């Protein structure tokens, strides 16, 4: 299987059959070989810098009912909250002082945040923090809405495609949501000019190596600036409560493959990775990741933004999270960078 890793490094792509054979045939030795190659590429483009993103989870209301998600509409035991513009700006002020130069506004698909309200929030952040990047992660909206938010000053947008395969997508989501629409949103975002991030869950229910192969082919075609992947972790108040979580091992392997396929992409070692293993994020960095996303949400609401069970860092102050991550990154020979940390993957939209 080493030859497939070499081929991937040399050509930047594999066929569907090769992807699934490589994913199925992985071994610990092969993983080590992959991670070495992935680290070398990451060092070539991004050195030993780790970019930080200040995550502000500003609403946990959501109109959708994704079967895996702890804040899905049907979870009546979730305690719901919203942050207003002033509370969001306070998080940014605190984050700026801690060295954050990217703010990620993340939330469920909450109808309260109309275009008017979101434009006002984005413009205010842009005005107060002109040297910072503003990233939105607020789900599927119309192209017109994406355009208005971009014009207001948003730079980046995160929207995981979750799984590329339409049938698999339908096993994870109610009928009102489709893979095709989600993917169309991503093409719209790219065309508008956002630095676009997508990604998927590893080990989600019913997922096969062929599904992961399709995800890799989709990533190659979309050529996003960021790719966020994390293990599926069940939430006890969802239809998938009893399903087995994705593994650290497969998630790390996929991180290494993504780094090889898209050498300049921004690749976070996610909180979900840190949740399934105490040193999951460090291992993610050593597999080729180069971003971490500490939480800037107010401590009072942290425990309510639970997409999955046992999420880490729900009780820590932002400053604590920042210091903890700095220690963790230093312990493996990496440094946290105080910068916007823009993606070097700047290729224009080429195909749909
Ligand atoms: S995954 Fe996103 S869209 Fe789906 S229910 Fe959760 S917050 Fe809403």
pTM above 0.75, yes or no: yes
Cα four-point dihedral sign 228, 144, 124, 90:
negative
Q: What are the angstrom distances between the C-alpha of 37 and each of 17, 62, 185, 255?
A: 22, 40, 33, 12
Q: What are the angstrom distances between the C-alpha of 234 and each of 47, 64, 86, 239, 257?
A: 35, 17, 33, 9, 25
Answer yes or no: is the C-beta of 235 below 6 A from any ligand 1 atom.
Answer: no
Indicate the pairing of strand 195-202 with strand 102-107: unpaired
How many whole angstroms separate alpha carbon 64 and alpha carbon 177? 8
Give me the pLDDT at residue 350, please: 53
- Find where tokens 């929207």 sit: 159
Hey, how many other C-beta atoms are within 10 angstroms of the C-beta on 308?
23
Is the CB of residue 16 less than 8 Å from the CB of residue 213? yes
Q: What angle do CA 180, 184, 188 make, to 5 degrees?
A: 175
Question: Which portions of the chain are predicted below pLDDT 70?
Answer: 347-352
Ligand 1, atom 3: nearest CA belongs to which residue? 64
Rg over alpha carbons for the chain, rounded to the nearest Å, is 19
How many whole angstroms separate alpha carbon 117 and alpha carbon 244? 39
How many whole angstroms separate alpha carbon 212 and alpha carbon 249? 14
Distance 259 CA to ligand 1 centre (A): 27
Ligand 1, atom 5: nearest CA belongs to which residue? 72
Give me the pLDDT at residue 247, please: 97
Answer yes or no: is the C-beta of 62 below 6 A from any ligand 1 atom.
Answer: yes
Distance 42 CA to ligand 1 centre (A): 31
Answer yes or no: is the C-beta of 64 below 6 A from any ligand 1 atom.
Answer: yes
Answer yes or no: is the C-beta of 329 below 6 A from any ligand 1 atom.
Answer: no
User: Which pair of structure tokens corresponds to residue 72?
Assistant: 């899905």
User: Which pair of structure tokens corresponds to residue 237?
Assistant: 């108040």
The residue whose CB lies within 8 Å of the most ligand 1 atoms, and thus the one to mutate among 65, 71, 158, is 71
Distance 281 CA to ligand 1 centre (A): 23
Counting from 1 in the atom list of ligand 1, the atom nearest the Cα of 69 is: 6
Answer yes or no: is the C-beta of 72 below 6 A from any ligand 1 atom.
Answer: yes
Distance 71 CA to ligand 1 centre (A): 7
């Amino acid at each position: 299987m080493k030859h497939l890793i070499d081929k991937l490094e040399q050509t930047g792509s594999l066929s569907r059959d090769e992807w699934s054979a490589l994913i199925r045939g992985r071994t610990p030795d092969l993983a080590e070989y992959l991670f070495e190659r992935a680290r070398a590429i990451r060092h070539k483009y991004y050195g030993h810098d780790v970019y930080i993103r200040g995550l502000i989870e500003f609403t946990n209301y959501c109109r959708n009912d994704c079967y895996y998600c702890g804040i899905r509409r049907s979870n009546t035991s979730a305690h719901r909250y919203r942050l207003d513009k002033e509370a969001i700006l306070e998080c940014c002020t605190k984050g700026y002082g801690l060295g954050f130069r990217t703010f990620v506004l993340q939330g469920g698909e909450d109808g309260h945040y109309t275009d008017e309200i979101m434009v006002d929030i984005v413009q205010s952040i842009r005005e107060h923090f002109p040297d910072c990047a503003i990233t939105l992660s607020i789900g599927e909206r119309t192209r017109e809405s994406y355009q208005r938010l971009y014009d207001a000053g948003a730079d980046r947008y995160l929207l995981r495609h979750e799984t590329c395969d339409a049938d698999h997508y339908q096993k994870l989501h109610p009928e009102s949501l489709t893979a095709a629409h989600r993917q169309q949103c991503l093409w719209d975002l790219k065309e508008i000019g956002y630095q676009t991030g997508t990604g998927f869950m590893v080990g989600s229910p019913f997922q096969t190596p062929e599904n992961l192969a399709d995800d890799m082919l989709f990533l190659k075609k979309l050529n996003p600036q960021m790719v966020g992947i994390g293990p599926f972790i069940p939430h006890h108040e969802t239809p998938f409560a009893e399903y087995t979580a994705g593994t650290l091992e497969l998630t790390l392997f996929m991180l290494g493959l993504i780094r090889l396929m898209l050498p300049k992409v921004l690749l976070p070692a996610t909180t979900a990775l840190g949740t399934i293993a105490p040193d999951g994020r460090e291992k993610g960095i050593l597999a080729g990741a180069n971003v971490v996303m500490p939480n800037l949400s107010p401590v009072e609401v942290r425990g309510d933004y639970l997409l999955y069970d046992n999420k880490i860092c729900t009780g820590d102050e932002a400053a604590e999270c920042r210091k903890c991550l700095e220690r963790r990154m230093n312990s493996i020979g990496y440094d946290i960078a105080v910068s916007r940390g823009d993606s070097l993957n700047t290729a224009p939209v080429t195909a749909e």
